[in-house]
Amino acid sequence: MEPLRVVLYQNDPGTAETLAVSLSQHFESVYLARSSAEAGLAISQHRAEALVLDLEALDWADLERLRQDFPRLCIVGTHRLADEELWTAALNQGASDICEPRQDDVVRSVLQGLTQRAVA
């Protein structure tokens, strides 16, 4: 199996650190980004297969742009107050999943998203 790379963009540094540690146990490389523009550069430079991003720190137009620029990318959004409406909106914008920024939830969502993209 080819090594997998993940870009992580979270507004809260503590959450970013916690998620990076958890993701690094499952993926070869985890790259931290401080903005959506930096996330796009990291995806290109490192040929990342997945992006975990904080929907509270992102404009919907940024999510749409990332989806257009990287159509095969598995995008998992995080939000502290994720609900059905937000989940539907994120999926309609091209996200693979949305979950609360908890370690197990994020890892599970990324793995499921990557599996679904590989099958498609």
In this prediction, residue 24 carries a pLDDT of 95
- Report CA dihedral (15, 19, 22, 26) to the nearest 10 degrees: 180
In this prediction, residue 120 carries a pLDDT of 65
In this prediction, residue 92 carries a pLDDT of 87
DSSP 38-62: HHHHHHHHHT-SEEEEEGGG--HHH
State how far Cα 1 lies from the chain centre.
21
Is the CATH number 2.40.50.60 carried by domain 6-119?
Answer: no
Q: Are 64 and 93 in contact (CB under 8 A)?
A: yes
What are the backbone dihedrals phi and psi of residue 74, each rounded to the nearest 5 degrees, phi first? -85, 115
In this prediction, residue 36 carries a pLDDT of 86
In this prediction, residue 2 carries a pLDDT of 62
Domain assignments of the chain as residue spans, ordered by start: 6-119
In this prediction, residue 51 carries a pLDDT of 97
pTM for the model stands at 0.91
- Maximum separation of any 2 CA atoms in the chain, in Å: 36
Averages of pLDDT over each 10 residues, the chain, 120 residues:
84 95 95 93 96 89 89 92 80 88 94 83
